[in-house]
Chain A
Amino acid sequence: MKILVVDDDMVQLESLRRGLRSKGYQVLEALSAEDALNRFTHSHTNEIDLVLSDYLMPGMNGIELLKKIREDHGSLPVILMTAYGEKDLIIEALHNRCNSFIEKPFTLEQLMQEIERVTK
């Protein structure tokens, strides 16, 4: 399974890459939402099975990226990560058919459970 991980923080990105690879996933990386959208244009959509994106990033945020993915790539599974456990944010994400919302800090085990749940 190929996961596109989007986070503006290099250290977070590296941690996620390491963790997910250790569980046998292929990982594509993007340092911004715009960068993630470029990934889509330069690769076939069906190459990516899931998007794991941070919410707060400079430029386009995670929900804006989610909306764009819904417009262009239909029901591709998206998991948003956030350090803000704000209800309003979760509701907005769910309105835009976000598959899952995971609050930081989380463990690899918790992330795996969410990935398995949304890709079942």
Chain B
Amino acid sequence: MKSSNPVTAHDSSENSRFGGAPRRNPGLKDFLRFRFFSGEDSTGMLGTPNPHQLTSWLFSEHKDAEEQIRESKSMIQAVFDGISDPLLLLDRDFSITILLNRAAAKYYGVHEPGEVIGKRCYEALMGRTEPCEKCPYPLVILNGRGGTFERKGLMDPARFEKVIIYPTEIGVVICIKDITKAKLMERQLIHNQKLSSLGLLVSGIVHEIKNLNNCITFNIPILTEYLKELIPIIDDYVESHSDFELFGMSYPEFREDIFNLLGNLEHASGRINDTVSGLGGFGRRNDGGKQRWVELKQVVEKAVAICRCQGKRIVKSFEVDMAENLPPIFIDPEPLEQVLVNLLIKAAQATDKEDTWIRLKVKQPDTLRDHVLIEVSDNGCGMDEETQGKVFEPFFSTKTPRRGSGLGLFVSHNLIEELGGRIEVESKPSKGSTFRVILNDANQGPTKSRYFSSF
């Protein structure tokens, strides 16, 4: 420009005044350029290349860009696929615009992830014509703020999920985390805390009842002694008053009735004590390591004492059949007691007939002499096969939420497994159910494998 002469170059690389071809495309060689100066300093340049070369350059630049986009897209896909939680990237109108990862494809049962791209999430993944109920997505779009929420599993309602939503410039990332295990632990913790509070409450009540009952137990023999001192005096009096009557009874009847009444009171006081003594240890936390030689009879009797009150109100017949000469077993008795209580309560709750019964049977199976079998049977409502298959699953309950947490049998199952045994169910709808607890030879003493495995 200084000389008002434009510079032309047919091979820019050979012309030092020209300054070389554009770095990103050495193929552009034919140029017409004007250079700009301020004083002696070169400040800029305006030029045009040969049109043919320019078209081919632009085309190759475009190809490069496409390649780069493809590369970065597959890189993002690889990163997404490497994440084990289901992830989706949605557009503002619910479309799965860009991708879903492998975990999400598996979660929604999508065989060809490519086929759902561009479709609306509720159509492609849920087979719906409109957004799912309570879907918070529109709110996230409106507010532009992400968030998290928990829900029952969308595909499997027995599970729990946490959904995390992150709005980004290109769409909204949705991440689904399976929190069933954490929820389960949380519920078990609450359940244990409830049991432990119940245990405290029960032990407080037991203490109070025993204290008051002591007054009856202690004083009845004294009162009996007093009366024995008094009776001969009345006997003498009656001898000279043969028509003596009290409360419409002749004196000999009355005399006998006094001691009958005292006998009844003494008996009732003994029963109160037996009942509350059985409750004393209930709800105490099991911290393990309390294995010892236990007479099965005592564990069963304790569980029966706890349930007898509730059971008696509901069932007509409650039979306990314990085989003679059962061997002592090496076990922590408290979890076993808890399981038996669970099974007995469950049996009582299953009743649906006039003539209801529960049978508790303890024996050594003929074929497996080193095992002990505890059976709790009822003639209640029973279960179909599908229910039987789920009965030990957590949170599975056929009862209303107030009556059942859905954890009783799950907890029982875990406790029995921890004790080295197993629990089974056999049931027929409307006929009744039988739960079997089988304690195996691992409970036959510290010389067996279970003992050594703890070292």
- 1/0 per position for A94-114, CB-CB distance to B under 8 A? 000000000011111101000
| Chain B residues whose CB sits within 8 angstroms of the CB of A107 once the complex forms | 217-218, 221
Asked whether, in the complex, the Cβ of A104 is within 8 Å of the Cβ of B222, the reply is no
Asked whether, in the complex, the Cβ of B215 is within 8 Å of the Cβ of A12, the reply is yes
Q: Is the interface of B mostly helix, strand, loop or mixed?
A: helix
Across chains A and B, the number of contacting residue pairs, with CB separation under 8 Å, is 54
Asked whether, in the complex, the Cβ of A105 is within 8 Å of the Cβ of B222, the reply is no
CB-based nearest B residue for A19: B222
| Chain A residues whose CB sits within 8 angstroms of the CB of B207 once the complex forms | 56, 83-84
Q: How far is the CB of B120 from chain A (nearest CB, A)?
A: 65
CA distance A84 to B214 in the complex (A): 13
CA distance A16 to B217 in the complex (A): 12
The verdict on B33 contacting chain A, using a C-beta distance below 8 Å, is no
Contacts A56-B207, A84-B203; is A105 near B213 (CB within 8 Å)?
yes
The verdict on A9 contacting chain B, using a C-beta distance below 8 Å, is yes
Asked whether, in the complex, the Cβ of A104 is within 8 Å of the Cβ of B225, the reply is no
Give the residues from 182 to 227 in chain B that come closer than 8 angstroms, CB to CB, to chain A.
Answer: 203, 206-208, 210-211, 213-219, 221-222, 225
Asked whether, in the complex, the Cβ of B225 is within 8 Å of the Cβ of A105, the reply is no
The verdict on B269 contacting chain A, using a C-beta distance below 8 Å, is yes
CA distance A16 to B211 in the complex (A): 13
CA distance A6 to B85 in the complex (A): 66
CA distance A22 to B203 in the complex (A): 33
Besides A15-B219, A84-B207, A111-B218, 4 more A-B contacts (Cβ < 8 Å) are: A11-B215, A18-B222, A56-B207, A104-B213
CA distance A9 to B207 in the complex (A): 13
The verdict on B280 contacting chain A, using a C-beta distance below 8 Å, is yes
Contacts A12-B211, A105-B214, A107-B217; is A85 near B222 (CB within 8 Å)?
no
| Chain B residues whose CB sits within 8 angstroms of the CB of A108 once the complex forms | 218, 221-222
CB-based nearest A residue for B223: A18
Give the contact-size bracket for chain B.
20 to 34
- 1/0 per position for B159-179, CB-CB distance to A under 8 A? 000000000000000000000
Chain B: residues with CB nearer than 8 A to chain A? 203, 206-208, 210-211, 213-219, 221-222, 225, 269, 273, 277, 280
Q: How far is the CB of B274 from chain A (nearest CB, A)?
A: 11
> Which of A12, A22, A56, A105 makes the CB contact (< 8 A) with B273?
A105
- Could you list 28 examples of A-B contacts with CB < 8 Å? A11-B215, A12-B214, A12-B215, A15-B215, A15-B218, A15-B222, A18-B219, A18-B222, A19-B219, A22-B222, A56-B207, A83-B206, A83-B207, A83-B211, A83-B214, A84-B203, A84-B207, A85-B277, A104-B210, A104-B213, A104-B214, A104-B217, A105-B214, A105-B218, A105-B269, A107-B218, A107-B221, A111-B218
CA distance A107 to B223 in the complex (A): 12
Contacts A9-B211, A83-B210, A84-B207; is A105 near B216 (CB within 8 Å)?
yes
Q: How far is the CB of B55 from chain A (nearest CB, A)?
A: 94
Give the residues from 60 to 105 in chain A that come closer than 8 angstroms, CB to CB, to chain B.
Answer: 83-85, 104-105
Asked whether, in the complex, the Cβ of B218 is within 8 Å of the Cβ of A106, the reply is yes
| Chain B residues whose CB sits within 8 angstroms of the CB of A83 once the complex forms | 206-208, 210-211, 214
CB-based nearest A residue for B276: A83
Q: How far is the CB of B273 from chain A (nearest CB, A)?
A: 6
CA distance A105 to B266 in the complex (A): 12
CA distance A104 to B269 in the complex (A): 12
| Chain A residues whose CB sits within 8 angstroms of the CB of B211 once the complex forms | 9, 12, 83, 104
CA distance A112 to B38 in the complex (A): 123
CA distance A64 to B214 in the complex (A): 23
CA distance A11 to B206 in the complex (A): 18
- 1/0 per position for A4-31, CB-CB distance to B under 8 A? 0000010110011011001000000000
Which of A12, A19, A83, A109 has the largest count of B CB atoms less than 10 A from its CB? A83
Q: How far is the CB of B228 from chain A (nearest CB, A)?
A: 12
Asked whether, in the complex, the Cβ of B280 is within 8 Å of the Cβ of A85, the reply is yes
CA distance A3 to B203 in the complex (A): 30
> Which of B206, B208, B225, B280 makes the CB contact (< 8 A) with A22?
B225
CB-based nearest A residue for B207: A83
Which of A15, A22, A56 has the largest count of B CB atoms less than 10 A from its CB? A15
